[in-house]
Chain A
Amino acid sequence: ILNVEQSPQSLHVQEGDSTNFTCSFPSSNFYALHWYRWETAKSPEALFVMTLNGDEKKKGRISATLNTKEGYSYLYIKGSQPEDSATYLCAPNNFGNEKLTFGTGTRLTIIP
């Protein structure tokens, strides 16, 4: 089971502001890094699956970058909206271990 750290644990952001948070993971034998968005009382939904060092992915106002050599990924949200309020989870994989184990997440609250 990989050691995954997400920071911060929680975050309050004013509507319209941009924000970012971090997922740290062991860099050895890296295979893939997943980001999920989890709204209260719903099921987690995939945002990105990233595999290459330097990879950058974007979906609307949300984007993510990946550094596999140093073992971290950033998730960015531009111009936060109330509907962005959710817990954001990351899950790294390494070779030989296809289990999807998650960090404890960053809980984002957007203040109108």
Chain B
Amino acid sequence: NAGVTQTPKFQVLKTGQSMTLQCAQDMNHNSMYWYRQDPGMGLRLIYYSASEGTTDKGEVPNGYNVSRLNKREFSLRLESAAPSQTSVYFCASSESGGKTEAFFGQGTRLTVV
């Protein structure tokens, strides 16, 4: 059972480049999340999806777009990467938001130069 799988694990981008971070879960979970980890600020929620086809902004959505095309997959897109987006990104899923525990992917370390 793979759980939550993120790709890629590492990425270096130049300022202005675009890329998509992929996330897939095999636990039939309804809710999926994207977070970024920043020193001293813990985990900050970028976007949230309660179910297939629905998405909602989190604490720090600017500069990002998301897509939840099916129940398994939730992708995060950076249209024009900026150095401020250098971070470790985590995807997570839960059976339903709120009362059920979330399971996290292994993280994607992104550096924007």
Residues in chain A within 8 A of chain B (CB atoms): 1, 31-32, 34, 36, 43-46, 49, 51, 87, 89, 93, 98-105
Residues of A within 8 A of B94 (CB): 100
Number of A-B contacts (CB under 8 A): 68
**Cβ-defined partner of A99 (8 Å) among B43, B97, B107:** B97
Interface size class of B (residues with CB under 8 A): 20 to 34
Q: Which A residue sits closest to B47, measured CB to CB?
A: A99
Contact A93 B97 (CB under 8 A): yes
Instruction: Give the distance to chain A from B6, nearest Cβ to Cβ, in Å.
Output: 9
Residues in chain B within 8 A of chain A (CB atoms): 31, 33, 35, 40-45, 48, 50, 56, 58-59, 90, 92, 94, 96-107
Q: Which A residue sits closest to B30, measured CB to CB?
A: A98
**Cβ-defined partner of A1 (8 Å) among B59, B96, B99, B102:** B59
Query: Are A104 and B99 CB-contacts (below 8 A) given A98-B50, A99-B48?
Result: no
Instruction: Give the distance to chain B from A38, nearest Cβ to Cβ, in Å.
Output: 8
Q: Which one of B40, B92, B98, B102 has the greatest number of beta carbons of chain A within 10 Å?
A: B98
Contact A44 B98 (CB under 8 A): no
Contact A98 B96 (CB under 8 A): yes
**Cβ-defined partner of B104 (8 Å) among A44, A93, A103, A104:** A44
